[in-house]
Structure 1
Amino acid sequence: MKQTFLDHFMIQTDRLYTADNLYMLQQGKDEPLREYAAHFSHEYSRCPEIDDRAAFDAFKSGIRESNFRYMVHSNPWNTYAELMKQPTVHTKAEYFNSKRGSATFARNTFGDPLPTSVPTPALPQHSAQPPST
């Protein structure tokens, strides 16, 4: 009985994937980019008949809304290998930015410094002078 159970589930874990399976992979709401990239790479390695272009497109389609998604869609990376280097670079940058502490909050969505605040102009001082006679 034990062997029947293992045989049944071993078949499910060792199955090969198609491009459709890769397109179904989505980065979870709380899933770090690094984990999504590792999971995707693992699943892609189980897809022997899928070319890099299909994997490239499937990876891009599974990334949740984020700065990284914007970068991927606006940069000229053309190969799967180039694309898969980027999550590592991006997560390292996120890590080092998080170590900077509150300085990270002084940046907007695209990493540009926010404009410096303009000092509030001093209110005019009115003196009550008696009317001249």
Structure 2
Amino acid sequence: MCHSFPTMLRGAGREWFTRLPTSSIDNFEQLSSAFLRHFIGGQRPKRPVDHLLTIKQGERETLRSYVKHFTRETLEVDDADKKVQLTTFKAGLKSREFVVSLAKNPPRTMAEMLLKAQKYMNAKDALAAIVDEERPKKEGRKTNAGDKRGSVQAIEEVT
């Protein structure tokens, strides 16, 4: 367990581990105790569940960024019920296309919601790549409204 422990660390945890003196830890119990002693003081108190209601997707924030932000904030909430997570995630969405997609086939769990979000983001990325390839080499040319409607329709079919 001592050998696999560092593979799970990132950032400050990884840095702490690499600075441990050689041969200073003899077993996993010592390692976990040293880890907790070092990081326990840096723990912040958990936020109340209603904190999730404050998380909203910004006007220009991508869905990918919102998913990361919401997930990170959820980890700071004490005893967040799965249905509350699902409801507050949907309530914070600004992406109309994605909301329409969710209304057609609502997810029942947060895992389903995140899977749908991932499929939506993948479809949007794929369509953006196609539009970029089809766009003439002229700089500054914008897609017309018909192209955009076709993209929205294709994304809805994927999700």
TM-score (norm 1): 0.66
| Larger helix percent | 2
Q: Deviations over 1:18-47 (max 9, x none)?
A: 221101100001100001001101111122
Report what 1:74 is aligned to.
104
Q: Mind listing any 5+ residue stretches in structure 1 that lack a counterpart?
A: 1-9, 113-133
5+ unaligned residues in a row in structure 2: which ranges? 1-41, 136-142, 155-159
Shift of 1:89: 1.1
How many Å separate the matches in 2 of 1:32 and 1:65?
8
Does 1:15 find its partner at 2:45?
Answer: yes
Find the structure with the greater CA-based Rg. 1
1:92 corresponds, among 97, 122, 141, to: 122
| Identical counterparts, % of pairs | 23
Q: Measure the CA separation in 1 of the matches of 2:55 and 2:120.
A: 20
1:108 corresponds to which residue? 149
User: Contact (CA 8 Å) 2:86, 2:109: kept in 1 or not?
Assistant: yes
Aligned residues: CA RMSD = 2.2
Q: Which runs of 4+ in 1 moved over 6 A?
A: none
Aligned length: 101
Question: TM-score, normalised to structure 2's length?
Answer: 0.56
Between the aligned partners of 1:73 and 1:24, the Cα distance in structure 2 is 22
Q: Which amino acid is the alignment partner of residue 105 of structure 2?
A: N
